[in-house]
Amino acid sequence: MDGHNRYEICQRHGIPFQAVWMEFADREAVKAWIIDNQLARRNLTDVQRANLGLKKFAMESEKAKERRIDGNSKGGKSSQKSDATLKQDANAGRTESKIAEISGVSRDTVHKVREVNEQAPEPVKQAMEAEVISISKAYEATKAAKKDKNLKDVGKFTMLKILSIWALLERQRNG
Would you place residue 92 in the very low, low, confident or very high pLDDT band (cuts 50, 70, 90)?
very low
Q: What is the pLDDT of residues 94-134, one digit of tens each?
A: 888 889 998 999 999 999 999 999 998 888 898 899 998 89
**pLDDT top residue among 144 and 153:** 144
147 and 121 Cβ atoms separated by less than 8 Å: no
Q: Which residues contact 170 (CB under 8 A, 6 or more apart)?
A: none
Lowest mean pLDDT among 9-13, 48-52, 122-126, 147-151: 147-151
Q: What does DSSP assign to residue 77?
A: P
Q: Where are the domains of the chain?
A: 120-175
**pLDDT top residue among 172 and 114:** 114
pLDDT score recorded for residue 20: 82
C-alpha pair distances (Å), 127 with each of 29, 108, 173, 174: 31, 19, 13, 16
Q: What is the pLDDT of residues 38-72, one digit of tens each?
A: 999 889 999 999 999 999 988 888 887 877 787 76
CA-closest candidate to residue 52, choices 76, 73, 34: 34
- Judged against a pLDDT cut of 60, whether residue 2 lies above it is answered with yes
Q: What does DSSP assign to residue 43?
A: S
pTM of the shown model: 0.67
CA-closest candidate to residue 128, choices 144, 107, 109: 109
Three-state secondary structure call for residue 53: helix
What's the rounded mean pLDDT across residues 151-172? 59
What whole-number distance in Å separates Cα of residue 159 and Cα of residue 155? 8
- Judged against a pLDDT cut of 60, whether residue 87 lies above it is answered with no
What whole-number distance in Å separates Cα of residue 124 and Cα of residue 157? 13
C-alpha pair distances (Å), 126 with each of 10, 14, 58, 121, 158: 35, 40, 22, 9, 15
What whole-number distance in Å separates Cα of residue 145 and Cα of residue 143? 5
Three-state secondary structure call for residue 149: coil
- Judged against a pLDDT cut of 50, whether residue 156 lies above it is answered with no
CA neighbours closer than 13 Å in the CB half-sphere of residue 3: 8
